[in-house]
Amino acid sequence: MTTDRSPFMNRERAPGSPDAVAAGCTCAVEDNAHGHGVLLQSDPTDEPTRAWWIAADCPLHATLPHA
């Protein structure tokens, strides 16, 4: 799983989104709410963090972006 703060996150195409899938993303569509991700909140006083499930073989999301 990765979060919106992760260097693995492809900012232009969220994992499981229709645009990402069309571009070759192999991340779970339903688990990632069609690109919207899931909100994680460990404590009610913390800001929630959006997170996505990333497939190990995803060509868009499983590698670090090039600098």
Name the band, by pLDDT with cuts 50, 70 and 90, for residue 10.
low
Instruction: Over range 35-45, report the average pLDDT.
Output: 86
- For residue 22, count other CB atoms closer than 10 A to its CB: 9
> Which pTM does this prediction carry?
0.74
Please enumerate, as own/partner, the contacts of 34-39 that have beta carbons within 8 Å and a separation of 24 or more: 37/4
DSSP, res 43: S
- Using the predicted structure, report yes or no on whether residue 63 has a pLDDT greater than 80: no
For the record, the structure tokens of 40 come out as: 């994680």
Looking at residues 10-34, what average pLDDT do you find? 91
Among candidate residues 23, 25, 5, the one with its CA nearest the CA of residue 15:
25
Domain extents for the chain? Answer: 1-55
Q: Where residue 44 falls among pLDDT bands split at 50, 70, 90?
A: confident
Q: Is 40 helix (H, G, I), strand (E, B) or coil?
A: strand
